[in-house]
Structures are given as structure tokens and as C-alpha cells.
Amino acid sequence: MTALQPVPAGTLASLLTAIGSASVRDGGGAVTVPVPAARLETAVHHLAGAGARLADLFATDGDQVTLRLVWGLDTERQYLITETAIDDLEYPPLSDIAPAAFAEECEIYEQFGVRPAGGKPLNRVALPPHAGPDFPRLGHQPAQPPAEVHAPHTVGGQAFEFPFGPVRQVGVESLYYGLVTSGEEIVDLYLFTWHKHRGLEWRLRGRRPAEALFLAERAEGLSATAVAWSVAAAVESALGAEPPPAALLTRGIALELERLYNHAAAMAALCQSTGLSVGQAAAEIALERLLRVNAAVFGHRYLFGVVEAGGVRRGPDLAALQVGLPGGYGELRRAADALLATNSFMDRLEATGIVTTEQARRLGLVGPVARASGVAVDSRVDQPAAPYFGHPPAIAVRGTGDVLARFQVMLDEAAESVRLIGDLAAAGPGTGAAPLPGGGGAGLGWAESPRGEALAWVSLDADGRITRARLRPASVRNWRGFDDAARSQNVFTDIPIIEASFWLTVAGTAR
Amino acid sequence: MSGGSRARAVAASPAARAPEGDVLAARLRQRVASQFGRSLHIRTLDTGSCAVCEQEIRLLAAPHYDLHRLGFFFTPAPRHADLLLVTGPMIRAFDVAARKTYEAMPGPKLVVATGACALGGVYPADAFVYGAVGEILPVDVWIPGCPPSPLALLQGLLVAVDRLAEKVSGLTFTAGGDAEPPAREAER
Amino acid sequence: MPLWFARGLRRGIVTTRYPARPDRSAAGLPTPPAFRAGVIDRRLADRLVAVCPSRALHRDGGVLVFDVGRCTACGRCQEAAPWAVTPSGEFELAGTSPAQFVKQIGLVQEVGQ
């Protein structure tokens, strides 16, 4: 932690007044405010009321369980972390004030045994039903196992409920969800992720940053660069390391290439979900070309192994970038233009899977999903760090919140990514990593993955080993929005279309 | 596939190199492969991957690779499938679903495990995962990679139906030559 | 849909001829390592084992044992000792039994002055 003494302003100042405290720590990528348990509810009310975005909620074990809430003060270009020690087994119910917190409250209960007061039923999330007291947890087993109860839903008329999965269509990840339907209309949809829970956060404990990044990349492989960058940045913030500017330019190029190929893949999935095989083939040609560009520029089709703690392991092959990118993006653009001119395709997208602006804000959604619902959140602009500080992207925003809006946002972002890559490549990217200082610390890191803001919080001991790593890929945040989108006047055949437009992963949610 | 004959690789056949205990398995595989040579239906199974293996598998049907020209097809129904293409480290909570999917496939059938996770790499066996697909399902062919590229997947599928011979048993992964280590190596 | 039909014709065929013909894109893929047996002693072998994040390497006495199946081609062993470890260039790695993936690389007693 640094010795900076900031003059609290804006939301931070009003928060401190609301909870009656002056204690602030600045450093590690965020401003941290210790909040006594008795003041937590007040603090959350205040922050939610001030329009702060709840970006994450997680716990750390120790003498007591410490609850940390990460808030995005996006208009003030700051992350704020409230830190609360929980003495007994309960804390104030937060998801009543910030519905974004419900999935995390469930996760905290099964890992740490502490729950929100009020007795509201909590879902089982990541730990399988047979997980006994010896099953690896980040904390302790709860006194009572979480009920097999989903969040209550309101049903007008008859409805029945059936589980779906985990083995689903061919070529997609396993996912187990409960579907509540009145026949054709979807009333509710809730996920269980234990079939893909590999315990990444548990595995990272005791590891050094270099080993941790190998696993972090594979938490959500389709966001390998983004998740690795968020963890590397958290480590760098914690230890006070500054990656060389050339390495940060390289990270930016890799991240934008990651965005490009993911958006092409989402486009292919959208075509597949609407039954437009010929469009799917065109999108897949673009996707394959972009993956080959990744391989030529960074040595791996999915950009594994680029980010390392302190910098990057590989620099871009700029000649290959110049040769390959225009053709790859050209394919993507031409396929997109043809799709936008195909009415049968567009009809399936309009007014499907609507997420309203209010829902997006309330659930703290991020990424293209939020931006398509009119919430202009983008961590490259809201929380600028190099290289985006010097190369800010234009944020693509639409207002209708349907599948079509998300598709259009992705296309706008793809164009912007190509422009950014050109700028970053001209600014002198390179390889190299700054050495990591010794000593411990804790820090917050982030990167704008193709799906939205990926966050990580890491604490290290004096030996440089991780004592707690919190991974929060964007998929964790956005699946709740998928529930809402599926629920809004949609039918079964719309589910794959909505799923493609969200382009989340189960791996990133389950970790 | 040209004419009426199956494509054959140049590498030597594996039978002479297979360990004793695998001779029976090899013969069974050849019998099975002779029935699948021209038309093979593939069901995929994700036992806990990071999602990238699935993306490479999806690209098998894409124009650049087009598995259909080789007589391979994806099918969502295990009942209709001949080959189970499995990714991931076999998360323990998934083992029942994995076995049910396998058992829902009528014989004869093949299991192909693909990706480093499925072959015992990345995640060691622990309370979360078995660590390898082979702990729960009887695997016939293994395809390494992280992820295995669509070309590697095609080679593996062709090996599974005996249209290509495997070559990995003949690779030593050693490099010849007299490269000198840098001076003062002993001090590193 | 004449739009798509015309586009498809203009685009032409992109399909690989693999396995009938080699595919040039294979050259861009990361591949498992090849080890120069003559320059790896026990000490270097132990360093390589320690640096592998996927448990593909272990040392059994005077032999470095490499499990190709576990290898992710991440390149860390190559970075640790580029004079001793190079890309093998092999991507056709499918095997029909686990034993086919386990490779033994003999170690020298001691390397360097």
C-alpha cells in the first residue's frame, strides 16, 4: 500500500460522510475504504443511490471473513473497494439494494459459510451437491448447505419447470440450467455451474504470479488475454511494478485482436442460431482468417502466453499484422454487410432478448450487452490505464437492448478495434517485463475483454506467493442479464439466439 | 476422398508398435473403423474445458476445414453417434453425465479425448477433477494440443477410423546436432 | 438469395486439402518441444521440470521423461533453455495408446566447464 493521502472528492467524500469515517487507503489500483459491518448497509445504500456500479462482491478468509465490494465510479474514473470484516455468520442483505450481488452472495455462502441476514433462500452455484466438509473451499463450510432453491419467480397461470443440460447441443460448452415455462414462453431461467467449476481461485493460492497466469488464461480461454491482463495488473498494482510502455502497447494489440475474433465468432453463432448456414460459413471464414492472424502475430491462435506479470512474453510480428489483418477484417465486414441486408436474419434479431437500460444498470452488466442497452460503460475509457490512456477508443452504444443492438455494437467495436490496432502498432510495441518487487500487497486489476470488464483482485504474501486471487471474468457479471433477456416475451427457439448475442462462456462463470 | 479407396498416410502402420496389451484393442478398433470409414457421426462432450477446444471443434464444420468432405458429421443425439469427442479434465461433478452420454450411444462406438486437459495435463487429479477423460471413459484415441487445432483434430479423427496411421509413436521429440550451451552454463 | 450466391462464387474455395495435401497454415501453429539430448544434464533437466506448468516433464534418474499428451506447447521450457529446447514442428500428434505419448530423453552427466 502506498502512503498517498488523497483529498476525497465526489462519491468517495460523500460515502465517508455517510458512514462517519475518514479512513481511506489509496493504492493497489483502487481506493479502499474500511467499512464497519454495522455501517455496511448504509454504505451500500449510499453508493447504489449515488449511481456507483457494483462490479464485484467477494470474500477473503482470515481471522475473520472479510467482505469486499468493488464499485466502479465510472464517471469519476475510479474503482472504490469497501472492506468489511464479518464477525458472525451474517451480514446485511445486499442484493435487496444491489440485485447485482445475488449470485455472489450465493457463492460466498457456499465457500465461506457467511450469508446475508433475512433468511432468503440462496442457490447452490459452484459446489456440487455431494461436496462434503472436506471439499476444497476458499473458507469454511456453511452450517447448512445451500438449498436447491432458485430465486422465487412470479407466474401468471400454470407453469412447469424442468432442468436442461448439462450436455446440450453439439459443439457448445456443458451448462445445466433450470427452465420455468408456461408452455412456450419463458418465465424464468437459472444456472448451476458446478459441472464446469474447476476451482481456479482455490488453485491459485500459494502460487507465484508466473504459474498463476498460466491457469488464469485458461479460466476463460476465449478471453485469455483479458483475464491474464487483469490478474497481471492486479499483481503489478499490489507490488508496485510498472510494465514498460512498449509491453503495454503489445497487450493492447493482443486484447483488440481478441475482441475481433470473438466478435466474428459471435456473428457465426448468431447465424447458426437463426439457421442461416451461408451467413455462418461467411462468418467462419472471417473467424478462421483472424485466428490465423493471431497465430502469425503472436504465435497462438487464441493468444495464450502473451501476457506475463510485469509485461509481455512475446512481442507482435508487425509485418504479419500488416499483411493479415486487413484481409481478415475485410471478410468480417463483408459478411456483416451481407447479413445486415438479409431481412430474414434481421427479423429474428429485432426485439428479441431485450435487456432494458434499467435492468442493465440494476444488474451491473458490462460489455457489449450493457452498451447495447444504453449503458455506456467501457473500462478502457472509464478506468483508463496505459495503453488506452493515450489511445482512447470510441464507445459503441445503442439504445434498444435487443439482439440486433448487441450485434450492431459488436460490429462497431470491431471497426474501432482495427483502428486501435493500427494506432498501437505505430506507437512502438515490444516485449519485456519489469521485475516484480518483493514484499506483499494487494491490488485490483482490470481489462476490457470482448464480453466486458474482466476484474481481478490479488493479495500476495512477503514471499510473493498468492494468498487470495479473485477472478471475475465478465461472464460472471452478465449471466444474470441473460436470465432477464430470456424472460422478456421470448420463446424457446430464441434462447440460442440470445445466448449467441451475449457471447458469454460457462467456463468464465464457473471458473 | 477420391475414387473408392480410403486415404492412407505414408507413415508405417501402428500394429507392429502397439504394446502387447493393446493388440486386441487395435484389432477391435480396425473392425470398428472398417464400419465407420465412409460415414462417421460425432457427438461432442465438454467435461470442463476453458471453451477454446469447443471453438476449434466448431471450426471443423467451417469452410476452411469442412469435415463433411471426409464423411464426418456432427450429431446432437448420442443415439445417432458413432464417436464421442471429449474435451476437458473430467470434472468430478460431471462424471455421471459423461457416463450417461457414453452409455446412450449404441455400439460399436469410439471415444476420442482431445486437448491437454483431457490427456492429464493442466489440472492434476484432485477433489475437483479426475484429471483425465480416461479415468471415466474408455478412450480409443488421444489428440494433444492446447487447443488442438482443427488440422490436428482432423488427423486424430482420421486415425480413429483408421484412415491415417498414427505417427506420434515414431516421433522422439529429440533434436540432433551439436549445439553448444552458452559459456558459463554451470553458473546459471 | 442471389446476394449470398454471388458472394460465395466470388469467394471461391478456401477448404484445405488436408490430408491429401499438406496445409500451409500448419506452419504457424505452436508445437511441443524437441530436446537436444547431448546438452541436457540433470540440473538443467530439473529446471525444465520445474518450469513446466502442465506436469509434462519429470526426471527419472538419468532420463528426462516427456509426456506429449500433457504438453500445451506454452514454450516455457524453450524460453528457459533455448540452446537445448526447440519447437518440434510436429502437429499430427494423435495416438492410440497412452504409452505412445511418453518419450524418454537420456541426460548427460554434466555439461559445460
Give me the residue from C3, C30, C53 closest to A299, CB to CB.
Answer: C30
DSSP symbols for B118-149: TBT-SS-SSSSB-SBGGGTS--SEEE--SSPP
Q: Which helix (H) or strand (E) holds A91?
A: strand A90-91
Binary contact (C3, A299; C-beta < 8 A): no
Looking at residue B31, its pLDDT comes to 66
Asked if C95 reaches chain A (Cβ–Cβ under 8 Å), the answer is no
Grid cell at residue A335: 459478411
Task: Reply yes or no: is the peptide bond before residue B108 cis, omega within 30 of 0.
Answer: yes
| CA angle A201–A207–A213, rounded 5-degree value | 70
Fill in the DSSP letter of residue A113.
S
Is A278's Cβ below 8 Å from some Cβ in B? no
3-state secondary structure of A291: helix
What is the ipTM, given to two decimal places? 0.92
The neighbours of chain C, by the rule of 3 or more Cβ pairs under 8 Å, are A, B
pLDDT of residue C13: 85
Q: What is the pLDDT of residues B160-170, one digit of tens each?
A: 998 899 999 99
CB contact under 8 A, C67 and B65: no
How confident is residue B37, by pLDDT bands cut at 50, 70 and 90?
Answer: low
**CA–CA dist A363, A101 (Å, integer):** 8
Mean pLDDT, chain B, rounded, equals: 83
> Which band of pLDDT confidence, cut at 50, 70 and 90, is reported for residue B25?
low
Mark yes or no for CB contact A342/C8 under 8 Å.
no
Instruction: Measure A7 CA to nearest chain B CA, in Å.
Output: 43
Sorted by where each starts, the structural domains of chain C and their CATH numbers stand as 33-107 (3.30.70.3270)
Over range A235-263, report the average pLDDT: 95
Asked if the C-beta of A356 comes within 8 angstroms of chain B's C-beta atoms, the answer is no
The highest-confidence range among A150-159, A383-392, B104-113, by mean pLDDT, is B104-113
The whole-angstrom separation of Cα B128 and Cα A17 is 45
Report the alpha-carbon distance of residue C76 to residue C40 in Å, rounded. 16
What pLDDT score was predicted for residue A146? 64
Q: What is the pLDDT of residue A44?
A: 87
Torsion, Cα of B26, B32, B35, B41 (10° steps): -120
Angle formed at CA B15 by CA B11 and CA B18, multiple of 5 degrees: 110
pLDDT digit string, tens, across residues A117-163 = 887 778 778 888 877 777 888 887 666 666 654 545 555 566 777 88
C89 in A contact zone (CB under 8 Å): no
Which DSSP string corresponds to A194-261?
Answer: GGG---HHHHHTT--HHHHHHHHHTTSGGGHHHHHHHHHHHHHHHHT----HHHHHHHHHHHHHHHHH
Is A10-116 assigned to CATH 3.30.460.80?
yes
Q: What is the mean pLDDT of residues B38-44?
A: 91
Spatial distance between the Cα atoms of C5 and A337, rounded to a whole number of angstroms: 15
Q: Mean pLDDT throughout B1-21?
A: 41
Confidence of residue B184 (pLDDT cuts 50, 70, 90): very low
Q: What's this model's pTM, rounded to 2 decimal places?
A: 0.91
Between B48 and A75, where is the model more confident?
B48
The mean pLDDT value for A56-74 works out to 89
Subunits with at least 3 CB pairs below 8 A relative to chain A?
A: B, C
d(CA B101, CA B104): 5
Indicate the pairing of strand B83-87 with strand B110-114.
Answer: parallel
Is A367 in the C-facing interface, judged by CB distances under 8 Å?
no
Q: Check pLDDT > 60 for residue B187.
A: no
With cell 488421444, the residue in question is B142
B46, B64, B84, B122: best mutation site toward chain A, by most A Cβ within 10 Å?
A: B46
Long-range contacts at A414-420 (CB < 8 A, ≥ 24 apart):
A414/A259, A414/A260, A414/A263, A414/A264, A414/A329, A414/A332, A414/A333, A414/A336, A415/A333, A417/A256, A417/A257, A417/A259, A417/A260, A417/A393, A418/A256, A418/A260, A418/A325, A418/A329, A420/A252, A420/A256, A420/A391, A420/A393
A366, pLDDT greater than 60: yes
Q: How many CA atoms lie within 13 A of C60 on its CB side?
A: 11
Question: Is the omega angle on the peptide bond into residue A36 within 30 degrees of 0, that is, cis?
Answer: no
Superfamily of domain A200-510 in CATH is Cytochrome-c3 Hydrogenase, chain B (1.10.645.10)
What residues of C are in contact with residue B124 (Cβ under 8 Å)? 55
Of A83, A177, C93, residue with least CA distance to B119: C93
* Beta-carbon contacts below 8 Å between A and C: 41
Q: To which residue does cell 484393442 refer?
A: B25
Q: Which pLDDT belongs to residue A1?
A: 39
Torsion, Cα A292 A298 A300 A304, to 10 degrees, reads -140
What are the C-alpha distances in Å from A399 to residues A271, A368, A404, A406?
22, 12, 11, 10
A394 at the B interface (CB within 8 A)?
Answer: no
| A381 in B contact zone (CB under 8 Å) | no
Q: In this structure, what C-alpha cell is assigned to residue B112?
A: 476420442
Rounded to whole angstroms, the Cα distance separating A251 from A245 reads 10
- Beta-carbon-side half-sphere exposure of residue C25 (alpha carbons within 13 Å): 23
In chain A, residues under CATH classification 3.30.460.80 are: 10-116
CB contact under 8 A, B97 and A224: no
Cα A370 from Cα A364, distance rounded (Å): 8
**pLDDT score of B9 more than 80:** no
Residue ranges, comma separated, of all CATH 1.10.645.10 domains in chain A are: 200-510
Q: Are A199 and B48 in contact (CB under 8 A)?
A: no
Highest mean pLDDT among A61-75, A104-118, B18-32, C93-107: C93-107
- Over 70: is that where the pLDDT of A290 sits? yes
Which residues on B lie below 8 Å from A195 (Cβ)?
Answer: 48, 91, 93-94, 97
Question: Which residues fall within 8 angstroms of residue A298, CB to CB, at 6 or more apart?
Answer: A254, A257, A306, A314, A316, A317
pLDDT digits (tens, 9 = 90+) for A462-491: 999 999 999 999 999 898 888 788 876 667
What pLDDT band is residue C5 in, cutting at 50, 70 and 90? confident
For the packed helices A474-487 and A102-112, what is the interaxial angle rounded to 10 degrees?
Answer: 130
Q: Measured between alpha carbons, how far is A102 from A109 in angstroms, rounded to an integer?
A: 11
State whether residue C10 sits within 8 Å of chain A by CB.
Answer: no
**Assigned C-alpha cell, A398:** 445503442
CA dist A236 and A220 (Å) reads 21
CATH value of B41-163 in 3.90.25.10, 3.40.50.12280, 3.40.718.10, 1.10.1740.10: 3.40.50.12280
Counting residues of chain A whose pLDDT is more than 70, the rounded percentage is 94
Question: Nearest chain C Cα to A297, which residue?
Answer: C28
C-alpha A477/C-alpha C45 separation (Å) is: 43
pLDDT over 90 at C100, yes or no: yes
Cβ pair C38:B178 closer than 8 A: yes
Put simply, the answer to whether C29 touches A214 (Cβ < 8 Å) is no
Mean confidence (pLDDT) of chain A: 88
What pLDDT is attached to residue A490?
67
Closest CA to B142 of C64, A461, C62, C93: C93
DSSP state of A149: -
Note the pLDDT tens digit of each residue in C24-53.
Answer: 888 889 999 999 988 999 999 999 999 999
Cβ distance of C4 and A341 shorter than 8 Å = no
C74 touching A, CB under 8 A? Answer: yes
DSSP state string for A19-83? HT----EEETTEEEEE--GGGHHHHHHHHHHTT-EEEEEEEE-SSSEEEEEEEEEGGGTEEEEEE
| Cross-chain CB nearest to B128 (options A198, A288, A302) | A198
* Average confidence (pLDDT) over A3-21: 68
Q: pLDDT higher for A75 or B49? A: B49
Over residues A410-424, mean pLDDT: 96
| C95–B166 C-beta distance less than 8 A | yes
Average pLDDT in the A367-378 region?
Answer: 95
Q: What is the pLDDT of residue A424?
A: 95
- Is residue B186 pLDDT above 70, yes or no? no
The residue ranges of every structural domain in chain B are 41-163
Residue A438 pLDDT exceeds 60? yes
Contact C36 B174 (CB under 8 A): yes
Q: Is the pLDDT of residue A322 over 80?
A: yes
Q: How do beta strands C85-87 and C33-35 pair?
A: antiparallel
- Residue B181 has a pLDDT of 47
| Cβ-based contacts of B129 with chain A (< 8 Å) | 198
Please list every residue in chain B whose beta carbon sits closer than 8 Å to the beta carbon of residue A265.
55
Chain B residues inside the 8 Å CB shell of C20: 2, 7
Q: How far is A98 from chain B (nearest CA, A)?
A: 30
B72 vs A: CB within 8 A: no
Å between A372 CA and nearest CA of chain B: 24
| pLDDT of A9 strictly over 90 | no
C-alpha cell at B154: 482432423
Q: Which residues of B, range 126-185, sit inside 8 Å of A by Cβ? A: 126-129, 146-147, 149
Contact B93 A135 (CB under 8 A): no
3-class SS of residue A491:
strand
Closest CA to A403 of A277, A274, A281, A285: A274
Residue A449 sits at φ, ψ, to 5 deg, of -75, 170
Cell of C7: 458472394
Instruction: Evaluate if residue A6 carries a pLDDT over 60.
Output: no
* pLDDT for the residue B18: 45
pLDDT of residue B17: 42
